[in-house]
């Protein structure tokens, strides 16, 4: 689960990380009021969406007057902000964050990520703040500072000092940087985060260290014990299809292809997408109906896939173990008849009750392209998608 910048800063501030003074606003009038309450002479008005690269897309405006604050907020609220991280559909802007724009001298990058391969937290820092980490790694790999945190003891003060000195900070500035680094680690650890990115972390003219921007992602499976984080969820930022899938405990991720996939098992779903790509096609989604899918659950998954207007063909790939092919077949027949499917349907069944499942499909009266193997199913789906183009 992702949160907005201002919410991430709330968590950072509670852990002792210094952040600029700011306030959330849901209207242009509220934005002006926030600026007057915050004081100062310059403000940053920031669109709050779950995506980066907002500045390049016009989602961050620096303002010198209340009139400019009003115009900036009015120009963002109610619109959809499109960045290279949102895709062409963009994200709706329902709130803006008004923040005092303090002048600063240097920008740094500071990130914490869960390294699943090492089963450790990896700290990444760089003196090239303001750039995306991928760009830093590509253009200035020598400037990446990386520290692996031993989970038994956590991030140590000496490691934070090493990072601070490598960033080129003076002795007087290092201690404040250490406070920010250690606080950021506590916020990451204590809230079951999987990613924390402060970009940029800035050094002001009076030697303060401030988190000027912040992004955090959290482990969905730990939200039951992190009510304060769970309450920060903003449904407006979710893909409507993914939100609908979550309501039915389905694992769904929307993609940009035209072959809709209904598969049981996460591994098989990944393999199905790979084989579709190998056959020259593009999957429209990742969807795992789970191991105990009933006909009703399968029908729900089917309708979810068909809600994507880009889908030109549906591929059902079931390897039944815990599940049963006859259940899946009943769900497919029910869904096809309910939505009056006009698209080509490719079905590959294998495993428990496979013959009964195939019989149900053949006797249902619906048009089905049967396949014996995954490779054959993918090839037939790609052919059908190309024919429908």
The tens digit of pLDDT for each residue in 248-263 reads: 677 888 888 999 998 8
Task: Respond yes or no: is residue 33 known to be catalytic.
Answer: no
Binding-site residues for ATP: 46, 99, 102, 107
Is 239-388 in the same CATH topology as 21-101? no
Q: Rounded distance, CA 294 to CA 301, Å? A: 11
Nearest Cα neighbor of 299 from 328, 251, 335 is 335
Are 156 and 182 contacting, i.e. CB atoms less than 8 angstroms apart? Answer: no
Q: Rounded distance, CA 93 to CA 79, Å? A: 6
Q: Rounded distance, CA 12 to CA 304, Å? A: 37
Q: According to the model, what pLDDT value does residue 248 have?
A: 67
Q: Which fold has domain 103-237?
A: D-amino Acid Aminotransferase; Chain A, domain 1 (3.30.470)
Q: Which fold has domain 21-101?
A: Dna Ligase; domain 1 (3.30.1490)
Active-site residue identified among 5, 10, 128, 197: 197
Asked if pLDDT for residue 129 goes beyond 90, the answer is: no
Asked if pLDDT for residue 18 goes beyond 60, the answer is: yes
Q: What is the CA radius of gyration of the chain?
A: 25
pLDDT of 310-344, one tens digit each?
Answer: 899 999 998 877 678 888 788 788 878 877 778 89
Active-site residue identified among 6, 109, 185, 252: 109
Q: Rounded distance, CA 67 to CA 52, Å? A: 26
| Cα-Cα end-to-end distance for the chain | 36
Q: According to the model, what pLDDT value does residue 318 have?
A: 86
Q: According to the model, what pLDDT value does residue 325 have?
A: 84
Q: Which of 9-18, 160-169, 254-263 is the least confident region?
A: 254-263
Q: What is the pTM of this model?
A: 0.77
Are 293 and 265 contacting, i.e. CB atoms less than 8 angstroms apart? Answer: no
**Tokens standing for residue 199:** 């970009």
Residue 349 CB-density burial (10 A; 0-12 exposed, 13-18 middle, 19+ buried): buried
C-alpha 232, offset from chain centre: 15
Q: What's the mean pLDDT when you consider all of the chain?
A: 89
pLDDT of 31-58, one tens digit each?
Answer: 999 999 999 899 999 999 998 888 888 8
Binding-site residues: 46, 99, 102, 107, 199, 213, 264
Element (H, E) at 330: helix 325-339
pLDDT of 61-114, one tens digit each?
Answer: 999 999 999 999 999 999 999 888 877 778 899 999 999 998 899 999 999 999
Binding-site residues for substrate: 264
Question: How crowded is residue 10: how many other Cβ atoms within 10 Å of its Cβ?
Answer: 19
Task: Respond yes or no: is residue 97 known to be catalytic.
Answer: no
Q: What is the DSSP letter of 2?
A: B
- Domain spans in the chain, listed from the N-terminal domain onward: 21-101, 103-237, 239-388
**Is 3.40.50.2300 the CATH number for 239-388?**
no
């Amino acid at each position: 689960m992702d949160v907005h910048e201002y919410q991430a800063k709330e968590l950072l501030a509670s852990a002792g990380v210094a952040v600029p003074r700011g306030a959330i606003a849901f209207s242009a009038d509220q934005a002006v009021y926030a600026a007057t309450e915050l004081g100062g002479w310059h403000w940053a008005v920031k669109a709050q969406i779950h995506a980066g690269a907002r500045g390049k897309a016009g989602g961050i405006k620096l303002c010198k007057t209340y009139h400019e604050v009003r115009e900036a907020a009015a120009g963002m609220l109610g619109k959809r902000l499109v960045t290279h991280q949102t895709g062409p559909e963009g994200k709706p802007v329902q709130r803006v964050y008004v923040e005092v724009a303090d002048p600063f001298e240097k920008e740094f990058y500071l990130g914490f990520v869960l390294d699943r391969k090492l089963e450790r937290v990896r700290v990444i820092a760089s003196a090239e703040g303001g750039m995306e980490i991928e760009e830093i790694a590509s253009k200035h790999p020598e400037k990446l500072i990386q520290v692996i945190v031993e989970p038994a003891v956590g991030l140590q003060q000496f490691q934070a000092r090493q990072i601070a000195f490598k960033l080129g900070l003076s002795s007087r500035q290092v201690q404040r940087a250490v406070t920010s680094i250690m606080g950021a680690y506590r916020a990451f650890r204590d809230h079951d985060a999987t990613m924390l990115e402060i970009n940029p972390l800035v050094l002001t003219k009076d030697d303060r260290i401030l988190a000027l921007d912040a992004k955090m992602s959290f482990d969905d499976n730990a939200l039951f014990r992190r009510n304060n984080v769970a309450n920060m969820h903003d449904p407006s930022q979710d893909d409507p299809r993914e939100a609908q899938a979550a309501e039915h405990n389905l694992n769904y991720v929307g993609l940009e292809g035209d072959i809709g996939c209904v598969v049981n098992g996460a591994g098989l779903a990944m393999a199905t997408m790979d084989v579709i790509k190998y056959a020259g096609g593009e999957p429209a989604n990742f969807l795992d109906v789970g191991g105990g899918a009933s006909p009703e659950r399968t029908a729900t998954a089917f309708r979810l896939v068909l809600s994507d207007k880009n889908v030109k063909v549906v591929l059902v790939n079931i390897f039944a173990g815990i599940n049963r092919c006859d259940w899946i077949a009943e769900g497919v027949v029910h869904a096809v008849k309910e939505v009056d499917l006009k698209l080509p349907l490719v079905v590959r069944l294998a495993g428990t009750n496979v013959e009964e499942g195939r019989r149900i499909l053949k006797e249902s009266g619906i048009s089905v392209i049967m396949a014996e193997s995954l490779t054959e199913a993918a090839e037939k789906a790609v052919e059908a998608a190309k024919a429908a183009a």
